[in-house]
Each structure stands twice: as C-alpha cells, then as structure tokens.
Structure 1
Amino acid sequence: MRNNRMTVADLRAAKGQRVLSMLYVETVEEAAAASAAGVDVLSIIAPVWTPQMREAAGDCFVQVGLLYGELVTAEDYLRAAFAARAVGGDAYYCGASLDTVRRLAAEGLPVVGHVGLVPSKATWTGGFRAVGKTAASALSVWRDMCALEQAGAVAVELEVVPAKVGAELSRRSPLVTFGMGAGSATDAQYLFAEDVLGCTRGHRPRHARTYRNFRAEYDRLQAERVAAFGEFVADVKAGRYPGPEHDVAVSDAEFEAFVKGLGDE
C-alpha cells in the first residue's frame, strides 16, 4: 500500500526549506497522537519498534534507535537495522564507531549519527552539559559531523550546543540536523514526548518545553487507583463483596440434584 510518509530524499530536500518537528515516543498511543498532530519525524527505540508502532506512526518518518551498548559489533548493528527495516523503519540511529556507520551505509541503510552532547559518551566532553562553547570544542563537533558525512550518514542528532554554533553547523553541513537544544536554525526541532506532556520527574533539560501537565493527571489517577483498591479490600473484609448480584444462579431443582449426587458418590 502506498503512503505519504517522507523518504530520505524528501528529508534532504526539506533541508533549508522548512523546519521539521520531531518527537521521541515510547508508546503506541504517543505515536498515534504524534501522527494525528502532524509531527514529521519520530524517534523510537528498537526494543519497542513493532508492527503496531509502525501502524500507529502513520505517515511519520521514523528513526529507529539502535541501542548503543546492547549492540556491540557491526554485525549486531546490521542485523538490528535490517530487522527494524523489515518492520518499516525509515532511518537508523547509530551511536557506534565510524566503521559501523560505514558498514550500515554500505548496505543502503540510512544512518543517523549523534554529535555534541552524546549521553552515552558524555564523560569525554565534561558530563551532561553544553558542548561547543569554546572554539576548540565547536570545531571538534564540526569534525565529528564531517566524519559522519564521509562515513555515509544522512542525518545527525545535534544536541545541546550554542544556538549560533548549531546554526553554522547546520548551514555548512549537508547532513540533516535533528536539533535538541541546538537553537532554532537546525533542520528539525527534536523533543521528548515525556517533556512535551509534562511527565518528566526530576531534572528537566533547559531546552525542554512543556505543553500539558500529564504528571498531575497520572498522580491523580494513581491516587484513584489506591483508593479504589482500598475500597475493594474493605468490601472483601466486611463481606460486602461479592453480593447477590455477582452470583451465578442455579435452579433449586438442579442444586438439589447436585447435592443428592454428592451423597451418592
């Protein structure tokens, strides 16, 4: 069946022409809501990437996240990427080495790299803080982007760099930039659904923006769960549950025959 979701060629053609919207989602409900809302690109990690998620994602272009650390060798990544493609993935996030990126790209698999603040490698850039605030640091990010381009990547997550740096990097690189905390001039604006929906507990990134307060609703629903379960326990203890209305009826004749039969055993 034909659909209207973007291809890699469309993604590249949109660079510099319009800013794309991008969300990281974790559930079928979030994917379906994103599709209905007109989100352009979704990021979904491989463990939850299923045919049901593909259907829910509708016409959204989906980057499937291949989990760094759970996959190790290039062969691991290749098998995982082909499995994700079989479900309907459009591109594949790879935080592994350039050699692995090359292997994926050589098979025609669209690869998305990651530069700037890379959580799995943050120890090399000073922890969970902005990258590219000095000329040397910004140039290092640029070199990383160039290396990914040369390895065959088609896009890159550009995370937590100064807005001016993000704009220059995006303008100069042919890679499609999925910006998260990298200013308004990247090719896509990328947020986590949990931040958008107000579900985040603890630290909330500077770049996050909350549009609804689902956390308060979840807390309210949890309190209602506890209350409902407590009432059930109380009813059981007091003999109020089950009541006559919950019982399965049997005719007197059949019950008497049953009791008589027990005596005959």
Structure 2
Amino acid sequence: MKRIYDFSRNPAMRNFTVADLKALKGSGRQLSMANPADRNEIKACVDAEIDLFVVGTDQMEDVRELAPAIFTGAGSSWAQFGSDDEIVAHAYEAMRRGADMYYTLRSFDVMEWMASEGIPVQSHIGLIPTFSHHCGGLRAFGRKAEEAMQIWETIKRMEDVGVFAVEAECIAEEVLTAVNGKTSIVTFSLGSGPGGDAVFSFVADICGEVSEEGKPPKHAHAFGQVGRLHKQIHDERVAALGEFHREVAAGNFPYAETNIGMFAGEKEKFLEALDHWTPTHQ
C-alpha cells in the first residue's frame, strides 16, 4: 500500500500507483480488473480483493468511500461530449473526484493533450464496440498478420503521444503477448489471452448474469450463477405479487393480524361522538 496525494491534493492510500503498474510489466505478476456498477458490486469487488477497477465518473464518490485504496480508472463514452475542450474538462473532473486514470476513445491529439497535463490516459485497441460499424460488426482482431501489424502500429502511436494504458479487447492472444513485451503501455486484456499486464472482465460476466441476448460473448466465463439467483428472485417476486392480488380481489386481505384496532372501549365512544357530531361553524 502506497501513500499518495490524489489529483485534488488530498492525502490518500493506493494499492497500486501509475509507477507500480509500469514497473510490473514483464514481472510475471498479473492483476485482476473489473467494472463494479453500483455500491453493492463495489463492496463485492473489495471483499473479493479485485486489484483494479474501472467505473463511470459519477461512481467515483462511491468508490472512494467504499474502496478508498483501490486503483480506479474513470472515463467517458466516445459520443458523450462534442468538443475537445469538453472532454478534457471532463477528464479533469474525473481526476478531481479521485480517479487514477482517464479512459478515452478520442483522437491522438486529445490523448496527447491530456497526457501533457499529467493525466494518466487509458485508451482502447482491438474490438471497440463503439466503432463496430466501421469493422463490419462485433468480431475478433489480429487473426491475420496484416491486422496484427495495424494493432502494433496503433499501440506505438498511442505510446508516442503519452498513453499510459490500453484495454486490449478480443485480440488474438499471440498478438497481445508479442506486442506487450515491446511497449511501455500497460495492457488490460479483455478476451485477448493471458499476455496482458492485467486481465479485465465485466462483473456481469464473471458472476454469470445473462446478457441481453441470453448468450454471453466467447471470452466471458461465468465463475458464479448470479443470473440463476436473479431468476429465482424474479419468480419469487411474481409469486408473491400474484398471491397478494388474488387475496385482495377475494376480499381476504388485509388479514386481521395485519390490521390495527382501537383500544378497548374506545370504539363505542368514537361511534357515539361521530353520530352526535355537528360542525362548529358553517
């Protein structure tokens, strides 16, 4: 655990610093990385001792409350902001909130601008779902030598503009293993084999929550069955609500034991007063 000052100059502790992650390259030690989406998932990731987090910027307060020492990246989607000024301003905001790096898909110029201001920049190579239209849909990358060289050239360009880390998504494992040893950039492997500096997976995939299509992607491996529990909870909820509806419709609910009664003798007093009540003013 390292003592640091965060980007708002608040004293803090971190399990890893930027320098630590760079120094781990080539060490043989591989870190775990996940994306907790709410307070419950943050707590679960902390209890499970996940090494690195990546979250939305609006989650940073929760992360710093519940996981104050975990190295955490934040960022924005490609279309979230229109101008370069807006995206850089958002990067500053994320860092002020306690982020340790900032994720962006914007141009090399914007990445260089952020890096030159001291912001640890994370970007993305391989399959970038946001740009899936450009590459013919969701698919793997680097399975042919020509495309593998394009990945290498992209990561070197990122290195040249000061990018600190990249998410390497759905790249042939041989490619990531080869390029990772030739770049100073820290790599987070998502579906790209064991050759990255950290292995990243989505909390929903790790925990076995069913995707929208009902079929997880090839690289997703469920280590739990939370989806089954969600279904059990849903079924129990429907059963309870249905029984409530039927009992109300039948005139059976509320049950006597769930009702509140008056104290002994008070009902008679109340009914007599009610029968004799007259308004005090018209």
TM-score by length of 2: 0.87
Question: What is the match of residue 278 of structure 2?
Answer: 263
- CA-to-aligned-CA distance 1:134-162 (integer Å, 9 cap, x gap): 22111111111111111121001111111
Question: What is the match of residue 67 of structure 2?
Answer: 57
Q: Report the Cα distance in structure 1 between the residues aligned to 2:101 and 2:170, rounded to whole angstroms.
A: 22
Alignment of 1:252 onto 2:267: yes
Tell me whether 226-235 or 199-208 shows the greater mean CA deviation: 199-208
Q: 1:238 aligns with which of 233, 250, 260?
A: 250
**Rg larger in structure:** 2
Question: What is the match of residue 217 of structure 1?
Answer: 229
CA shift in 2, pair 1:247/1:147, >3 Å? same
Shift of 1:13: 1.6
Question: What is the match of residue 203 of structure 2?
Answer: 193
Q: Is 1:115–1:157's contact at 8 Å kept on the other side of the alignment?
A: yes
CA shift in 2, pair 1:9/1:242, >3 Å? same
Q: Report the Cα distance in structure 2 between the residues aligned to 1:99 and 1:2, rounded to whole angstroms.
A: 31
Question: What is the match of residue 167 of structure 1?
Answer: 177
Alignment of 1:42 onto 2:53: yes
Q: Which amino acid in structure 1 is aligned with residue 18 of structure 2?
A: V
Question: What is the match of residue 77 of structure 2?
Answer: 67
Q: Report the Cα distance in structure 1 between the residues aligned to 2:60 and 2:102, rounded to whole angstroms.
A: 15
Q: Which amino acid in structure 1 is aligned with residue 251 of structure 2?
A: G
Q: Percent identity?
A: 30
Q: Which amino acid in structure 1 is aligned with residue 151 of structure 2?
A: V
Question: What is the match of residue 3 of structure 2?
Answer: none
Alignment of 1:113 onto 2:123: yes
- SS for the counterpart of 1:216 is helix
Shift of 1:253: 6.3
Q: Which amino acid in structure 1 is aligned with residue 219 of structure 2?
A: H
Stretches of structure 1 that go unaligned for 5 or more consecutive residues are none
Q: Is 2:204–2:210's contact at 8 Å kept on the other side of the alignment?
A: yes
Q: Report the Cα distance in structure 2 between the residues aligned to 1:257 and 1:115, rounded to whole angstroms.
A: 81
Please state which structure has a larger fraction of its residues in helix.
Answer: 1
Shift of 1:198: 0.7
- SS for the counterpart of 2:109 is helix
Shift of 1:230: 0.8
Q: Report the Cα distance in structure 1 between the residues aligned to 2:233 and 2:218, rounded to whole angstroms.
A: 28
- SS for the counterpart of 1:114 is strand
TM-score by length of 1: 0.92
- CA-to-aligned-CA distance 1:205-264 (integer Å, 9 cap, x gap): 222111111111111110111111111111211222223333333333662475157434
- CA-to-aligned-CA distance 1:167-211 (integer Å, 9 cap, x gap): 011110100001111111210111111111110323322221111
Question: What is the match of residue 7 of structure 2?
Answer: none
Q: Is 2:38–2:59's contact at 8 Å kept on the other side of the alignment?
A: no
Q: Report the Cα distance in structure 2 between the residues aligned to 1:178 and 1:90, rounded to whole angstroms.
A: 15
Question: What is the match of residue 32 of structure 1?
Answer: 43
Question: What is the match of residue 156 of structure 1?
Answer: 166
Q: Is 2:14–2:69's contact at 8 Å kept on the other side of the alignment?
A: yes
Q: Is 2:166–2:186's contact at 8 Å kept on the other side of the alignment?
A: yes
- SS for the counterpart of 1:3 is strand
CA shift in 2, pair 1:258/1:54, >3 Å? farther
Q: Is 1:45–1:67's contact at 8 Å kept on the other side of the alignment?
A: no
Stretches of structure 2 that go unaligned for 5 or more consecutive residues are 1-10
Q: Which amino acid in structure 2 is aligned with residue 220 of structure 1?
A: Q
Task: Please tell me the root mean square deviation across aligned C-alpha atoms, in Å.
Answer: 1.9
Q: Report the Cα distance in structure 2 between the residues aligned to 1:200 and 1:57, rounded to whole angstroms.
A: 27
Shift of 1:54: 2.8
Q: Is 2:12–2:69's contact at 8 Å kept on the other side of the alignment?
A: no
Q: Is 1:49–1:84's contact at 8 Å kept on the other side of the alignment?
A: no
Question: What is the match of residue 5 of structure 2?
Answer: none
Q: Which amino acid in structure 2 is aligned with residue 71 of structure 1?
A: F
Q: Which amino acid in structure 2 is aligned with residue 242 of structure 1?
A: P
